[in-house]
Amino acid sequence: MRFLHCADIHLDSPLRGLERYEGAPVEEVRGATRRAFENLVQFALREKVDFVVIAGDLYDGDWPDFNTGLFFAKGMAQLGESGIAVYVVRGNHDAASKLSRALRLPANVHLLAARAPQTIVNDALGLAVHGQSFATAAVTDDLAAGYPQALRGHFNLGLLHTSMTGREGHEPYAPTTEQVLRAKGYDYWALGHVHAREIVAREPWVVYPGNLQGRNIRERGAKGCELVTVEDGVISTESIALDVLRWNECALDVSELADLDALLDQAQAAVRAHLVAADGRILGLRVRLHGTGSLHRELAARPERVVEQLRAVALDASAGNVWLEKVAIAVRPAQDLARLGQGGDVVALLAQELATLGSAEPLLDIAREVLKDVRLKLPREVIDDEGLDLEDPAVLLELLREAESEILARLAGEADGDAR
């Protein structure tokens, strides 16, 4: 018996943080979550699996476009034409979604009940699927505790949308423990909700497959589903990559680099290496520059130009297959600020200002005031998506650090008004 276990499809969820620029592979990543979902369907058909389980979160909760639901239903119908059954539980996003209420799913899709745990038995396969959908967006009870005991003589599969004992970056929904799961006597627990792949346990198997397609830089690495094989009672599982765009971060240490050309050379090599690892996919790459070195001044004084040049390098090295998501410049100046700050001269004063940033409440007040005009104009989505809350001290602190790096660079004669 073979089946696919996937979760957190989040169909039509947008890719975040990808600012368009000349040469960015816009067409190549269009509809990435849809294409990843299509990859799932095609893989199931090609491998002729016996069934598919989806452990919740088919759509984004607040996404209202009915077309998304129709697209999902079409994919399911394709599986149905080949006799592949699909077992689904609703996750927190689906419970919040209006789509999932109005949509009629094909007959091969078995949506497990939300009122109480439900068991669907497939005698032809000797399979018993146990599960319970989310009735509301925020379920904080241990749903698994209410699941029935294993059905003797069957392969028992538990379908559950849960955060287990808690996972960073994920709401603590339907919390449960390994002990609870183990006590049910099931063979395989197909979990969803956490977007990173994780094999929680092997006896019995408790698996998070991760989501189908990474949607931002936090969801890095290969994404896809689990191909589970059960032979003579022995279970094995294999991760299948289905993603269209692969997110990754490329950290470059500038400490030993003599100049910008050296940085660009290193970036080019790194881009090529990441491309190979992405196995022919489009790469959503964040370049993080770190370290302490003489290059800091140039980076601080002309960040936009550095970004442009890195984009050009990425474009060139990848034949247009890399989308540079962001260039995060976390390079520290070569100077020792603490030592520079000793004294009463101008440089010392500036260094002292830098040193007091963390606790400089008046400076934060000034920053709030200075940025008031732009703050009032920023759309809510941008503030949430891009983490750009200009009231947030952490954000202001980060911006102040960038600003002061720029001042140090300019005081020493770099970039006199030609930074753009």
Partner 1 sequence: MKFAQLHLKAFGPFRDRVLDLPIDAGRDLHLIYGPNEAGKSSTLRAVNHFLFGMPARTADAFLHDYGELRVGATLSLGSGERLSVMRRKGNKNTLFAFDAASGAEITSSPLAENTLADILGGLDEQLYRTLFGLDLEGLHKGSEELLRGEGEVGRSLFQAAAGLASLRSLMDGLDKQAADTFKARAQNLPLNRALQDFELQRRALKERTVRSSAWESSEGEYQRALARHAALRERLSAARATQQRLERLRINLPLLAERTQVETALAALADVPALPGDARERRIAAEERMRGAEQARRAAHATGERLAGEMAALVVREALLARAADVEQMFHALAAYRAARAALPDSERRTDELGTRVTRLLAELGAPEALDHAARLLPSATLRAALQSLLDEDARLGERDMHLASQRDEQRLTQSRLEARLAQLPAPAPLALLEQLLARMANVTELETRRQVLAREFGEREARLRDELAMLWPGSLPELLALTVPLPVTANGFETDFGVLAQHEHALAQQAASLERDLSECVRELEGWAASGEVVTQAEVSSARTARDAQWADLRRDWHEAPAQPPSARLAEQFEAAMREADRLADLLHADTARATRVAATRKRVLDMESERARHAERRATLLAERATLETRWRALTAPLRRAELSPAALRDWLVLHGQLLARHAELDKLRHNEREAAEEFARARQAMDDALAECALPPVAADEHLAEALERVRGAVSAARQTNAERVAIGEQIETQRGELARLAAQHAQFTQLRATWQARWHEAMAQLRLGANAMAAEVKVRLEQFARLAADLDEMERLASETRVQRVAVADFEQRVAALADAVEDAGSRHALDALAERLYAELGAAREAQARRQRLTGEIAAACRARDEAETTAQDARQRLAELLALAGCATPAELPALEDQAQLGRELAARLADLDTQLLRHNARAVTAVASEAEGHGLDQVTTQIDEVAMAIDALESEIEAAQEAVFTAKQTLDTIDGGASAAEAQQATRSLGARIASEARTYARLRLAHAVLARVVQTYRARHQGPLLARAAEIFRRITLGSFADLAVDWVEDSQVLQGERRDHSRVPITGMSQGTRDQLFLALRLAAIEQHIASRGPFPVIVDDLLVQFDDARALATLDVLAELATHTQVLFFTHHQHLLGLAEAAPIARAMNIQVL
H-run or E-run covering 244 = none
* Distance of alpha carbon 59 from alpha carbon 37, whole angstroms: 12
| 265 Rama sector, left if φ>0, alpha if ψ -120 to 50, beta otherwise | alpha
Give the total of residues touching partner 1 (CB under 8 A): 83
Q: Which CB, 312 or 337, lies closer to partner 1?
A: 337
Q: By C-alpha distance, which of 207, 290, 276, 211 is closest to 248?
A: 276
* Region 305-324 residues binding partner 1, contact defined as CB under 8 A: none
Binding-site member from 64, 83, 126, 166 for partner 1 (CB under 8 A): 64
Binding-site member from 25, 39, 68, 321 for partner 1 (CB under 8 A): 68
Task: Report in angstroms how near the CB of residue 254 gets to partner 1 at its nearest.
Answer: 14
Binding-site member from 123, 232, 238, 416 for partner 1 (CB under 8 A): 416
Instruction: Determine the number of helices (DSSP H) and then strands (DSSP E) in the chain.
Output: 14, 15
Q: Which CB, 116 or 366, lies closer to partner 1?
A: 366
- What are the tokens at 218? 């936090």
Stretch that binds partner 1, among 28-36, 116-124, 191-199, 245-253 (CB under 8 A): 28-36
Is 283 one of the binding residues for partner 1 (CB under 8 A)? no
Is 65 one of the binding residues for partner 1 (CB under 8 A)? yes
Instruction: Name residues whose C-beta falls within 8 Å of residue 131's C-beta, 6 or more positions apart in sequence.
Output: 87, 89, 112, 117, 118, 147, 158, 159, 160
Binding-site member from 185, 320, 363, 389 for partner 1 (CB under 8 A): 363
Stretch that binds partner 1, among 98-106, 140-148, 167-175, 201-209 (CB under 8 A): 98-106
Torsional sign, CA 94, 100, 101, 106: negative
Task: Report in angstroms how near the CB of residue 75 gets to partner 1 at its nearest.
Answer: 9
Binding-site member from 7, 10, 12, 243 for partner 1 (CB under 8 A): 12
- Position 267, amino acid: A
Burial code of 162-172, b = ≥16 C-beta within 10 A, e = fewer? bbbeebeebee
Sheet containing 245-253: give its strands across: 245-253, 282-292, 322-332
Binding-site member from 277, 343, 356, 391 for partner 1 (CB under 8 A): 343
> CA-based angle 7:211:51, to the nearest 5?
35
* Region 160-219 residues binding partner 1, contact defined as CB under 8 A: none
Binding-site member from 4, 207, 254, 367 for partner 1 (CB under 8 A): 367
CA torsion angle for 96, 102, 105, 109 (degrees, to 10)? 30
Binding-site member from 342, 356, 391, 392 for partner 1 (CB under 8 A): 342
- What are the tokens at 131? 């599960």
* Distance of alpha carbon 245 from alpha carbon 15, whole angstroms: 9
Binding-site member from 31, 83, 126, 166 for partner 1 (CB under 8 A): 31
User: Max CA-CA distance within the chain?
Assistant: 84
Stretch that binds partner 1, among 46-54, 146-154, 176-184, 370-378 (CB under 8 A): 370-378
* Distance of alpha carbon 313 from alpha carbon 111, whole angstroms: 48
Cβ neighbours of 401 (radius 10 Å): 15
Task: Report in angstroms how near the CB of residue 365 gets to partner 1 at its nearest.
Answer: 11
Is 344 one of the binding residues for partner 1 (CB under 8 A)? yes
Is 361 one of the binding residues for partner 1 (CB under 8 A)? no
Binding-site member from 140, 149, 236, 294 for partner 1 (CB under 8 A): 294
Site string for partner 1, 375-394 (x = CB under 8 A): -xxxx-xx--xx-x-x----
Instruction: Name residues whose C-beta falls within 8 Å of residue 196's C-beta, 6 or more positions apart in sequence.
Output: 167, 208, 210, 219
Is 330 one of the binding residues for partner 1 (CB under 8 A)? no
Q: Which CB, 47 or 386, lies closer to partner 1?
A: 386
* Region 102-161 residues binding partner 1, contact defined as CB under 8 A: 102-103
Is 81 one of the binding residues for partner 1 (CB under 8 A)? no
* Region 250-269 residues binding partner 1, contact defined as CB under 8 A: 258-259
Task: Report in angstroms how near the CB of residue 233 gets to partner 1 at its nearest.
Answer: 41
Task: Report in angstroms how near the CB of residue 127 gets to partner 1 at its nearest.
Answer: 30
